[in-house]
Amino acid sequence: MDRYLEGRSALITGSVQGIGMAVAKSLASAGARIGVHGLATPQQAAEAVAAMKAAGAPEAKFFEGDVRKPDAIEAMMAAVAAWGGPDILVNNAGVQHTVSLADATRAIWDNVIAINLSAAFDTMRLALPGMAKRGYGRVVNIASVHGLVASVNKAPYVASKFGLVGMSKVAALEYAASGSRESGGVTINCICPGFIETSLIEPQIMERAAKFGGDRAKGAADLLSDKQPSKRTAMPEEIGALALWLCHPVAHNVTGAAIPVDGGWTAQ
């Protein structure tokens, strides 16, 4: 592995499991120092830090911070800055709540928007000036296919992800001229996954599998056939690989993009 992120520091929110952990491991494999974050017990935090070091990070540290609370985010970002970063910021922490617009409450709306959108606003506004000063920076926001198209019963989630894509485009324009080809520049992009192989979709897969005598593969294909033409899930590591490439200096002119990893979902 080309360790082109040696000397860089990365903060990945929501990185004690799933997509966030896969992204963090990918960055670690290229030599980045990794700031891990998430809702975790001390043991889970220690295990995540150990996983980053095993993946190749020269240093890893767990940072606390309830991303629903601006003051907690400010404290976390100050701690990360004192640690030497972030040169790379991955906003992965997120929540989904399936509910009809008629049945959604303001509390549900506020919670989803706070975690999925407002938290990224706060981390970006605090991280990007330092990136611009150094001439290199990468923000990778894990949005969703639902930042590009809508589905029923997901108004707060869809609104938060559309907002994240839009905010990322604004930031990309504001920082497009920062740095240079030689320094790597500052870029802000979104990755928009469709169905990803995580524990979150397992109950849906197994519910469909019951129609096929418990055959999980057929259950997954049946679930995906509603939306994802490839009928294949993506693995978290595939999202990690894309995020890693976006952090490469060669990607200095890839900014303001919202890249779907959705098996053709948004091509329809």
Catalytic residues: 157
Find tokens 């919670």 and name the residue. 111
- Secondary structure class of 139 (helix, strand, coil): strand
Q: At what angle do helices 18-29 and 236-246 cross, to 10 degrees?
A: 50
13 with 37: CB under 8 angstroms? Answer: yes
Residue 48's alpha-carbon distances to 21, 29, 176, 237, in angstroms, are 8, 14, 33, 16
Radius of gyration of the chain (CA): 18
Cα 240 to Cα 17: distance, rounded to the nearest angstrom: 12
Cα 28 to Cα 268: distance, rounded to the nearest angstrom: 36
Where would I find the beta strands (DSSP E) of 86-220? 88-91, 136-142, 185-193
Peptide bond into 70 cis (omega under 30): no
